[in-house]
Amino acid sequence: MSLKNEVVEKLSEIIGNENVITSDEAIRIADPRMVRPYAKAFDYKPEHVPLCIAKVSETGQVSGILKYCNENDIHVIVKTGASSSEDQLLVVDDRTIYLDAAPMDKILEINTENMTVTMQCGVALAVIEGKVNSMGYTLGHAPQSLPLASMGGLVATRSIGQFSTFYGGIEDLVCGMEGVLPNGEVFRIRPVPRRAVGPDLRHLIIGAEGVIAVMTEVTVKLFAWYPELMWKGGYTLKDFETGLALVREIMTKGYKPAVARVYDKVDVDHHYGSVRLEENEAFAFFSVDGPGAVPDVHGAAVHEIALKYGAKYIGTKAVDHWFENRNKNCDTIGTETEYKKFRETKVCEFPIEISSSWDEIGDIYQEIKATVPERIPNIAVFGGHVSHCYVNGTNIYFVASLKIDDPDNAHEEQYSVMDAICDVVLKHKNATIVHHHGVGKSRVRRIKEELGSSYPLLAALKNTFDPNGIMNPGCLIPLG
Ligand SMILES: Cc1cc2nc3c(=O)[nH]c(=O)nc-3n(C[C@H](O)[C@H](O)[C@H](O)COP(=O)(O)OP(=O)(O)OC[C@H]3O[C@@H](n4cnc5c(N)ncnc54)[C@H](O)[C@@H]3O)c2cc1C
């Protein structure tokens, strides 16, 4: 019997054959939209495809499948929303199944006394956020991929939302979880407000990109939501560096706007038709969340600091435009509309997000902007913006538009931009090559340099929990 038939027969015993997708056509259609989107526009055929897709709806099924796969050297890539952008879901061999946990979509409890929501890992963020919004609450987690992503992937990629400067990243929001280890064992981490019982075990799973365990259930925090009280303001600035100094002062003085963004001119010209900047100028905008007078009080402070840095107030029109359109590209990304654009323009746009301390971020930005287009002559547009700020530093989200003539070479060309950016970042003491998209199978080629002397800790964790190496091979930890 072929390996595929063997696996399908066994999985059908565990979850029923109606839940095991086997036909080549069905597997092709279910291919995650973010795996090699540019190449796909040009009729790309993946080198490896999954043996089948196993659709699971309860923890016992996940446990049964993992136990079988672990004992039979079958590799497992779990997916939920399939919007991850660093090749996390790329299949790299011929003995892999997709464990599709999207059907695990039950909301188990919305607890407005404890301010928590407990749900299965396949719950779509848009569904749960819409539900709690209608009750006057928010999860405080709003990545640009909100219309696409689900809870499992959001936790597993250590994702961050657009209002993170106030609410934090997913690591600040997850209180507890249930998961299954590769040997089929089920574990629970209770959702307490805080505990001091050894290392924080949630962090074995948050950001582990499905290489250690499958998270089946998660409990996250809930916040009161006051959208009608939000304060907003937009500004033009002398240059991007002034924007960095301005957000640094806002953060280090102790103010916490929910949105704090600074765009360089290239990024503004490319993405914001409505804002006109002179050469070198930058665009910044802020919003403040909170109850009662909080938004106006903090907003007034943000405004005062902005004026101190010579900012010109331009009102809220451009900010409103951003709020209305902030998730719009999810409508077309990885669809025939986008593929058509790729074929017409032969230009592919992709982001690379890094972060660093305040004392290094300005130099990193300058060096990347100066050296990357020199090294990669087919970069058509190369802009950047700040979008997630902390008391000790900030991220920069670079957006590269790359002219790609040979679609078969598209991902290597993208990797070359990534490498050029990583080369600059890795020279610095307090900087990281990944702020929020995860490592996947793209930035994994630089992970040993990134983690340095702490890399063996990550490798040891992987070996301890997944000694047979069945969980998403090549993701987060290099192959071989
Ligand atoms: C247009 C667009 C905008 C984006 N904007 C943002 C943004 O603002 N902020 C941000 O952080 N990211 C962003 N991303 C990246 C992506 O949306 C996030 O990484 C998201 O968290 C992925 O969630 P998902 O449900 O789609 O996960 P998937 O793609 O299904 O999976 C992602 C990873 O998590 C693992 N995984 C999935 N489910 C589980 C589980 N139950 N247990 C264990 N591991 C699991 C998978 O194996 C994989 O490694 C964006 C992506 C796109 C395409």
Name every residue whose Cβ is closer than 8 Å to that of residue 253 and which is 6 or more positions away in sequence: 301, 305
| Domains of the chain and any CATH numbers | 1-225+444-480 (3.30.465.10), 228-322 (3.30.70.3450), 330-438 (3.30.300.330)
Residue 259's nearest CA partner among 341, 320, 200 is 320
Q: Which residues pair with 471 in a beta bridge?
A: 76
Integer Cα distance of 81 and 79 in angstroms: 6
Nearest atom within ligand 1 for CA of residue 438: 19
Residue 67: CB atoms within 10 Å? 17
Integer Cα distance of 290 and 175 in angstroms: 22
Nearest CA to ligand 1 atom 36: 153
| 35 CB near ligand 1 (under 6 Å) | no
pLDDT digits (tens, 9 = 90+) for 409-450: 898 999 999 999 999 999 999 999 999 999 999 999 999 999
Predicted structure pTM score:
0.97
Give me ligand 1 centre to Cα 84, in Å: 4
Q: Cα–Cα distances in Å, from 29 out to 22, 23, 32, 102, 152?
A: 12, 10, 9, 16, 22
| 65 CB near ligand 1 (under 6 Å) | no
- Place 29 in a pLDDT band, splitting at 50, 70 and 90: confident
Name every residue whose Cβ is closer than 8 Å to that of residue 432 and which is 6 or more positions away in sequence: 354, 355, 356, 425, 450
Region 168-178: mean pLDDT is 98
Q: Cα–Cα distances in Å, from 117 out to 125, 151, 155, 293, 377?
A: 12, 11, 14, 27, 48
Q: In this structure, are residues 78 and 214 in contact, taking their beta carbons and an 8 Å threshold? A: yes
| 152 CB near ligand 1 (under 6 Å) | yes
Query: Quick check: helix, strand or coil at residue 238?
Result: coil
Residue 338 is given by DSSP the state H
- Render 344-392 in DSSP notation, one character per residue: HH-EEEEEEEEEEEHHHHHHHHHHHHHHHHHH-TTEEEEEEEE--EETT
Q: In this structure, are residues 34 and 85 in contact, taking their beta carbons and an 8 Å threshold? A: yes
Q: Which residues of 227-252 are buried (b: 16+ CB within 10 A; e: fewer)?
A: eeebbbbbbbbeebbbbbbbbbbbbe
Nearest CA to ligand 1 atom 44: 210
- Place 121 in a pLDDT band, splitting at 50, 70 and 90: very high
pLDDT at 43 over 90: no
Name every residue whose Cβ is closer than 8 Å to that of residue 364 and which is 6 or more positions away in sequence: 354, 356, 396, 424, 425, 428, 431
Q: What is the pLDDT of residue 30?
A: 86
| 143 CB near ligand 1 (under 6 Å) | yes
Torsion angle, CA of 88/91/95/100, rounded to 10 degrees? 60
Q: Cα–Cα distances in Å, from 181 out to 75, 118, 190, 345, 463?
A: 14, 20, 17, 45, 12
Give me ligand 1 centre to Cα 473, in Å: 17
Nearest CA to ligand 1 atom 52: 145
Name every residue whose Cβ is closer than 8 Å to that of residue 63 and which is 6 or more positions away in sequence: 180, 184, 185, 186
Helix, strand, coil percent values for the chain (each to nearest 5): 40, 20, 40
pLDDT at 274 over 80: no
Integer Cα distance of 196 and 215 in angstroms: 22
Q: What is the pLDDT of residue 271?
A: 81
Integer Cα distance of 81 and 102 in angstroms: 7
Nearest atom within ligand 1 for CA of residue 80: 30
Integer Cα distance of 80 and 149 in angstroms: 7
Residue 381: CB atoms within 10 Å? 17
pLDDT digits (tens, 9 = 90+) for 67-105: 999 999 999 999 999 999 999 999 999 999 999 999 999
- Place 28 in a pLDDT band, splitting at 50, 70 and 90: confident
Integer Cα distance of 376 and 417 in angstroms: 7
Give me ligand 1 centre to Cα 375, in Å: 30
Q: What is the pLDDT of residue 290?
A: 97
